[in-house]
């Protein structure tokens, strides 16, 4: 059984231990075999991760979804997802270079408001060579990690499905609106045609009525003319009869005068009696 150390001996032993620390254990050997496609990304601080998520959400919500139609937004999101997943799932450099003249990229991403900004945020940069503009993804551990975050934001199930649903609803609404507009135009044309028919019918009726009225007026005028002619003929006939009667009366009166003053034949004596002539 060892004897306990005195306070002085214990202090000397502690000082000796500090001066001569035990050797460190050997470092583990690196694992053998092929390296993974992408090495683990350097850890971002919690604030950096949060800022990245906020940035991508803002670029998506305020840049793409707010300023474009639902169909254009859904097309842009699906195209960006395809671009980023091609890079994450393959080491082929062709997926990291996109010509700006590419038809799909031009129509579904660059022509959409906010599409260019989101592409830059995913890690792409523009380079121009031989008058050809190209989007190139600059591969690094940090850029790959940020690409993963941006892709995850794009792949958010609720947002993507909501966009697709709204795009479908919007398309149906456009079809319904087009059908309603076509029906409205057809009804308007039918009303116009009905108005034309009504106008034509009214004009025809007015024409028939006007012709009937004019014919009636002509008949009345002709009847009045015939009546006036008959009245005039009757008046002329009456005047002629009266004139004939007057002439007959005048002739009778002359004969009576002649008979009353005939000579003293004694046959027709004067109404004044049988007096003598003045020269007798």
CATH assignment of the domain containing 101:
1.20.58.2190
Instruction: Please indicate, yes or no, whether the overall pTM of this predicted structure exceeds 0.75.
Output: no
SS3 per-residue string spanning the chain:
CCCCCCHHHHHHHHHHHHHCCCCCCCCCCCCCCCCCCCCCCCCCCHHHHHHHHHHHHHHHHHHHHCCCCHHHHHHHHHHHHHHHHHHHHCCCHHHHEEECCCHHHHHHHHCCCCHHHHHHHCCEEEEEECCEEEEEECCCHHHHHHHHHHHHHHCCHHHHHHHHHHHHHHHHHHHHHHHHHHHHHHHHHHHHHHHHHHHHHHHHHHHHHHHHHHHHHHHHHHHHHHHHHHHHHHHHHHHHHHHHHHHHHHHHHHHHHHHHCCCCCCCCCCCCCCCCCCCC
User: How many structural domains is the chain composed of?
Assistant: 1
Asked whether residue 271 is domain-assigned, the answer is: no
CA distances from residue 23 to 26, 27, 142, 161 in whole angstroms, order as listed: 9, 12, 36, 60
pLDDT, position 36? 47
pLDDT, position 33? 46
Asked whether residue 121 is domain-assigned, the answer is: yes
Place of tokens 């700006």: 100
Closest CA to 164 of 63, 107, 59, 81: 81
b/e map of 43-54 (b: 16 or more CB within 10 Å)? eeeeeeeeebee
pLDDT, position 249? 62
End-to-end CA distance of the chain: 237
Radius of gyration over alpha carbons of the chain, in Å? 65
Residue 71: give the domain boundaries: 46-155
Q: What are the φ and ψ backbone dihedral angles of 256, each rounded to 5 degrees?
A: -65, -40
pLDDT, position 54? 94
- Asked if 150 and 121 count as a contact pair (C-beta separation under 8 A), the reply is yes
Asked whether residue 55 is domain-assigned, the answer is: yes
Asked whether residue 139 is domain-assigned, the answer is: yes
Place of tokens 């091609």: 86
Q: Tell me how far apart the alpha carbons of residues 153 and 60 are, in angstroms, rounded to a whole number.
A: 8
Q: Tell me how far apart the alpha carbons of residues 77 and 118 are, in angstroms, rounded to a whole number.
A: 10
Asked whether residue 104 is domain-assigned, the answer is: yes
Asked whether residue 23 is domain-assigned, the answer is: no
pLDDT, position 34? 46
Asked whether residue 53 is domain-assigned, the answer is: yes
Asked whether residue 85 is domain-assigned, the answer is: yes
Q: Tell me how far apart the alpha carbons of residues 101 and 110 are, in angstroms, rounded to a whole number.
A: 10
pLDDT in tens, the chain (280 residues): 556 667 667 666 766 666 565 665 555 554 554 444 444 555 678 888 999 999 999 999 999 989 898 889 999 999 999 999 999 999 999 999 999 999 999 999 999 999 999 999 999 999 998 899 999 999 999 999 999 999 999 988 556 667 667 666 656 666 666 776 777 777 777 778 777 878 888 888 888 888 888 888 888 888 877 777 777 777 776 666 666 666 666 665 555 555 444 444 445 555 455 555 555 5
Closest CA to 166 of 46, 42, 75: 75
């Amino acid at each position: 059984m060892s004897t306990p150390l005195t306070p002085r001996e214990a202090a000397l032993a502690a000082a000796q231990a500090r001066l001569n620390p035990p050797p460190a254990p050997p470092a583990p050997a690196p694992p053998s075999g092929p390296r993974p496609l992408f090495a683990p990304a350097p850890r971002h601080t919690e604030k950096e991760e949060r800022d990245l998520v906020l940035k991508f959400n803002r670029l998506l919500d305020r840049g793409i979804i707010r300023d474009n139609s639902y169909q254009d937004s859904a097309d842009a999101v699906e195209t960006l997802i395809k671009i980023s997943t091609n890079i994450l799932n393959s080491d082929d450099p062709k997926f990291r270079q996109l010509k700006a003249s590419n038809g799909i990229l031009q129509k579904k991403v660059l022509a959409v408001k906010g599409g260019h900004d989101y592409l830059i945020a995913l890690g792409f940069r523009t380079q121009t060579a031989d008058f050809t503009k190209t989007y190139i993804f600059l591969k690094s551990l940090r850029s790959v990690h940020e690409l993963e975050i941006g892709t995850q934001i794009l792949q958010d199930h609720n947002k993507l499905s909501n966009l697709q649903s709204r795009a479908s609803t919007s398309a149906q609404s456009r079809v319904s609106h087009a059908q309603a507009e076509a029906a409205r135009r057809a009804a308007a044309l039918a009303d116009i045609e009905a108005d034309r028919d009504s106008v034509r019918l009214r004009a025809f009726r007015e024409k028939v009525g006007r012709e009937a009225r004019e014919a009636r007026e002509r008949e009345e005028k002709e009847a009045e003319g015939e009546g006036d002619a008959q009245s005039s003929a009757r008046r002329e006939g009456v005047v002629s009869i009266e004139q004939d009667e007057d002439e007959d009366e005048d002739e009778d009166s002359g004969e009576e005068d002649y008979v009353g003053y005939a000579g003293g034949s004694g046959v027709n004596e004067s109404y004044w009696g049988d007096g003598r002539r003045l020269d007798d």
